[in-house]
Amino acid sequence: MLRDSLATIAVIVAFGLSGCVQEKQQGTSQNGNSSGGSGGSGSSSRGGFFFCDTRDLDRDSSKNLANLFSDFNKSFVAKASSNSSTLYTIPVNFHVIMKDDSAEGGDVPDESLAEQVDILNRAYSGEIGGVGTPYRFELAGINRVVNENWHSFAPGAPEETEVKKALRVGDAKTLNVFIMDILVPKGGTGKILGYSTFPFVYKMQPALDGIMLHYRAVPGSDLDHYNAGHVLVHESGHWLGLLHTFTGACDGLFTDLVSDTPREKTPTRGNYCPTNLDSCPSNPGLDPIHNHMTYTGDECRTEFTSGQVSFMKFNTMIFRGLK
């Protein structure tokens, strides 16, 4: 049954444009005018920032992934996994793609990248909140490339394929993070903090696997609310298989496929760490504003749940070979 489901999802997985590019950071433009956001305090950023452009699943893909997860949970391998204390070390390769070798041109110091790996480990170990996961991260390499044509583009642009095919290293178990200037698609204004591929598309498109991260969404940058390293925690969650907590909204036909994350209608706007927010009052629980897979500020997102850990284990065992 599990093998049949795997064959089915390999054929059916498809993507629609995500609705996740909705959380916009308020910033100050070149002429001093506010650019972006729907509230909240101003920051030192220039231009509006959207949180995440990781694509959501369509209905058929979600249904098939849910069925596969159910089959997995009934299998011997899932029971063995739940009783295992194995830690999985994931090598991280950073590819810093710069317009020039200045900070404004996209250069990110080695110290920031080393700190970023430490932050991943604190988040995924449960040190900063929530439950611990079996994933640990190890800095495997820092690759710097000066290429103005590769430094700035929108998700899905031809340059993305060029960059990944030229620079990506390792296999399904290796996390490649491409750090550059991410533009909003289709002629929009503003920038995107990051986006990621999912584990279940690796077999079909191995050369495109990885995370794209804006060069200012790193520890110690001047980008208020998104400079504590938790943007990469969020995108790494996608890379390990997690969906957004607001997938399906309050009464959608599908969810984030995790049973212990309350329903959430939309990503939080304006307030980077709201209190007692309940956007789905007819469903149990308040909005999971502290979950790493929503859109609140870095200072607010501190936890994964047990259900998310189970879903990550399923994704990484089946699609990334972490066993």
- Asked if 171 contacts 202 with a C-beta cutoff of 8 angstroms, the reply is no
SS (H, E, C) 212-233: EEECCCCCCCCCCCCCCCHHHH
| 235 in catalytic set | yes
User: Dihedrals φ, ψ of 57, to 5°?
Assistant: -80, 150
Distance CA(273)–CA(266), nearest Å, equals: 14
Q: Where are the alpha helices (H) located in 195-305, listed in sequence order?
A: 230-239
Among 129, 101, 172, smallest CA distance to 298 is for 129
Determine the Cα–Cα distance for residues 253 and 77; give it in Å rounded to an integer.
29
From residue 265, give the alpha-carbon distance in Å to each of 76, 136, 262, 275, 282: 35, 31, 10, 15, 11
Catalytic one among 127, 148, 159, 235?
Answer: 235
Q: How many beta carbons lie within 10 A of that of residue 3, not counting itself?
A: 8
Instruction: Centre a 10 Å sphere on the Cβ of residue 162 and count the other Cβ atoms it contains.
Output: 14
146 backbone dihedrals φ, ψ, rounded to 5°: -100, 110
Indicate which residues carry an active-site annotation: 235
